[in-house]
Each structure stands twice: as structure tokens, then as C-alpha cells.
Amino acid sequence: MVCRQRFKFSILENIKTKHKLWLSVSSKIYDFLLPHYAWLNVTHNYEKGKPIYTFTIAEYMLKQISIFILLIVSQTSFGQNEELFNRLRAIHNSGTTFYNVDGVDFTNQNISSEFNEKNLKKAYRKYKIKKKDLKKTDKELNFDNYKVIKREEFEDGLVSVSINYFVKNKDNRISVFWFGYYDKSNPEFERKMIDLILNDAIPKTCFSSIKTDNINFAGRDLELGGNCNWMNINNIQCPYYGQMNWSVHKTKMSADLSIQNQLKATKIKNGGKVVSEEEVDIIFENVPTKAKKASYDFTGVTSLLASMSGGKNLTIYYISEKVRDNYVSCTLSFWNNDNINPSGLPPLLEEVMKISGK
């Protein structure tokens, strides 16, 4: 025989508002497996006794669980974004915002034209998208868009991937995004970054000044005095003092792959002859590690890289190492006509590394 009980609770806690909350609880026992709280009915009354709403404890618990899960997901998402923002660097120059994280360069430009077929055709021409180039829609992106992917294959298995997105932003205008990779693209990453940028969710702390008096080098402030120039985001050159570019990565594998691709790209794209390659012991940001040291000869070679410097021999250090809780890929270079100190390095490189034993 099923026992039925009925309880009534009176809670007179809120003296200031003089509200009374009455809980009318009725119980039933089911023969099938349901949580014991599923059969509890709750009615909330205000002081005049008019019921506001009635629900089961099961519904109440489900709502609480849903809120709890939502909070967990939100906190996880916030934590992941915070980690991403710690690695991300950006710089705004002449209408273009340049970004770098995890070895990926990407840019954003906004066009004042409305997002329609006529204006998209103009945008395609501006960004050298040909009629024959396949224009696809990424249906998983939260904004109307067209996407164009271009691949270029080089020697030694190096593949360059260039991706353009033409996106309808919140103002019904065209936002253009470009992502550059070696090897393969990452659509999930692209969607995330486009969403963050178009929702204005990138913190101001991620942005570097166009001035180079003081720069953020992989999480450390580096004073340079303003005599250097940004060649790209996370790529700085100081006349006769050397040049370095870097990226902050989540994993060692990502940093290693970035260095391998840069080594291949230097050999293939810049036209210099490889004179020597060796592994050397160095100290990078106070961390003992090894670097790949490569020397290139540009004698008699017509190269934009060589013509800009006036030098004939280029030395590059390729480094992948854990620094300040993240992994950093970094290439540091100098020409034979730079100001080379007794340490064997020019002043800019001395700021972040030294050769072991010197």
C-alpha cells in the first residue's frame, strides 16, 4: 500500500519586505525509476496568497543543473580564450590589423561597402581573387561569408596555404580576413578568430604600438629605444643591429613545426646558397637550449632580401623552446655588415640570446 504524506512549510524570513513564501509539497511514489525529487510540487505564494508559479522539484533541479553546466562551459571557454589571448599579438597599421598566434599570421580589413554581389565582385578584384577561383560558403561560421582557398607547392614538401574570407559584419559591410599557413589550414581556428574579431572581443592588451620604443617579446617587455621597425607583427628589424621574428605557441609540436617550415622557406624562397648548417648550444631568454644555426651566401644573387641590407652573408638561428609557460618559435638573423659584438651577435640578438661559452 502506498503511503501518501502532505507537508506545508511556512518561511517567515524576509522581515524587510514582509514577504511570505509558502511551500506546498505533495508526494507521490512511482513504481518506475525516477529520481525521488521528481514527484515534489512547489507553489510560491506572495503575501496576498496569490500563486505566482508552480513547478516540480525535478524541473527546478533540471534548471539548476542547466545553469551549473552553462557556468562550467562559460568558465572553460573564458579560460581557453584567456590562454589564447596570452599568446596572441596584434598591431594596427593603415587600415589593416595584423595578428599572430601559434605560428599563424592573419589579417583583417574592413570595407565600407555593403555586403552584396556587386560590391563583393569589386572586393574580389581588389584582393586578386579570380573568376575561376572557387568561392565556397563556410556554413559553420556565424556570419554570412564567402571563402577562397589557394595552395602553392614548393620544393622539399613545403606547401603554402592562403585563405581569404569575405564576411558580412554586424554593420552589413564587408570584412576581409586573410590567413596564411604552411602545410595545412585550420578552419576551426579561423572561425574562432573571425567570431572574436567581429564581436570586438580581442582585449586591448593584445595590441602592440606601432612605435618600437618598448615591445612585447613573447610575454616580456623589451626596451629598444625606438630605432627599430616592424616588418610584420612579431617581426622586428633594427638597422645594422639584427632582426628577429617569433610566435608564441600552445604546444612544443606547433613551435617545432613552425621552425621547420621557416627553415625550408628560407632555403627555397630567398635565393641564397646554404653554406653551413649546425646545431649549437645557446641560452635563449635565460633558458639553456639548442638552436639550428644556418649560414647563407648571397654573393652574385639578385635578392630583395640581400638588396635591402647590402650584405652578402646571412646568419640565422632557428629556435624552439619553452619560455614563460608557453612555447616560442623564433628566428634571429644578422648580416655580415651588421654591428657584430665580441659575443658573435649584434645588439638586438643579444637582448634575448647568447652563445654558450661566450
Render pLDDT for 199-232 as a digit per residue (tens, 0 to 9): 999 999 999 999 999 999 999 999 998 899 999 9
Q: Are residues 164 and 266 in the same domain?
A: no
Q: Are residues 219 and 341 in the same domain?
A: yes
Q: Are residues 257 and 194 in the same domain?
A: no
Amino acid, res. 351: E
Average pLDDT, the chain: 84
Which comes out higher in pLDDT, residue 40 or 261? 261
Range in 15-24, 251-260, 266-275 with the lowest mean pLDDT = 15-24
Question: Residue 113: which pLDDT band, with cuts at 50, 70 and 90?
Answer: very high
**280: Cβ contacts below 8 Å, ≥ 6 apart:** 290, 291, 293, 317, 355, 356
For 111-147, give one letter per residue: b (16+ CB within 10 A) or e: beeebeeebbeebbeeeebeeeeeeeebeebebebbb
pTM, 2 dp: 0.78
**183: Cβ contacts below 8 Å, ≥ 6 apart:** 159, 161, 257, 261
Q: Are residues 220 and 335 in the same domain?
A: yes
CATH number at residue 163: 3.40.1000
Q: Are residues 77 and 126 in the same domain?
A: no
Q: Does the pLDDT of residue 32 top 90, yes or no?
A: no
* 174, 113 Cβ separation under 8 angstroms: yes
Range in 62-71, 149-158, 240-249, 340-349 with the lowest mean pLDDT = 62-71
Domain that residue 192 falls in: 89-206
For 192-217, give one letter per residue: b (16+ CB within 10 A) or e: ebbebbbeeebeeebbbeeebeebbb
Residue that finishes a domain, picked among 154, 176, 206: 206
Cell numbers linked to 318: 632557428
Residue that finishes a domain, picked among 148, 176, 206: 206
For 273-289, give one letter per residue: b (16+ CB within 10 A) or e: eeeeeeeeebebbeeeb
**pLDDT at residue 298, as a whole number:** 86
Q: Tell whether the torsion through CA atoms of 108, 112, 117 and 118 is positive or negative.
A: negative
Q: Are residues 195 and 295 in the same domain?
A: no
Q: Are residues 228 and 196 in the same domain?
A: no
Which comes out higher in pLDDT, residue 326 or 306? 326
Residue that finishes a domain, picked among 58, 87, 116: 87
The number of distinct structural domains making up the chain is 3
Mean pLDDT of 99-111: 98
